[in-house]
Amino acid sequence: MNTLLLTYAVFAVAVASPGPATLAIMSTSATLGRASGIKLALGIVTGSVFWGVLAGFGLAAVLLQFGWALLALKIVGGAYLLWLAFKALRSAATPDSRLKPAKIRRGSFYRQGLLLHLTNPKPALAWPALIAIGVGADAPIAYMATLVLGCSLIAATIFFSYVMLFSTPSMMAGYKRLRRNIDGVVAALFGFAGVKLLTSSV
């Protein structure tokens, strides 16, 4: 049980730390409100569950053995982050008077969150390491399922907490006042993450 709690603690710190997923949740919630932020967070959590199940059943280890597959994932993920950086930069360069309301399509934010996490090789690398910490060689499937389910609930709790915090009226008003500056920072961070992902070794 101590090993399981340690795994949960490590996972919680990793999920709560700044990264593309948390950044996207914060900016979306502060810009478009709680409903959009929740959809985005649900997509990201679904992606996390996907990688967790793959790692739990050893399929992620198989993926990592094929360098071309991981390289392709890095290229797609890096390109997607750079595209998000471009969108944020374009928003930062647009005055409020010329900013068009965002077109919110049903399910689009869920797909964006899912794509953001599925194209990120970090979970593909982190989940097997996490499984190695919390699961012994003779661990039963029920224990594995408890680990993946617990981590998924932790991710959902943290992400939804970010949604609730950044979708409050005060946060949304503050974001509106500083929108162009914040979008500029978001663009820089997404751009840095995308370049780092594309230039990092497999």
Tell me the pLDDT tens digit for each residue of 86-129: 888 887 787 765 655 444 455 689 999 998 888 877 777 677 76
Total residues belonging to the chain: 202
pLDDT of res. 43: 94
Around Cβ 61, how many Cβ atoms within 10 Å? Answer: 15
pLDDT of res. 172: 85
**pLDDT less than 70: residues of the chain:** 1-2, 59-70, 73, 96-107, 125, 129, 131-139, 201-202
pLDDT of res. 199: 83
Alpha-carbon distances, residue 37 vs 4, 32, 41, 107 (angstroms): 30, 7, 6, 12
Distance CA 9, CA 29 (A): 26
Domain boundaries, the chain: 2-199
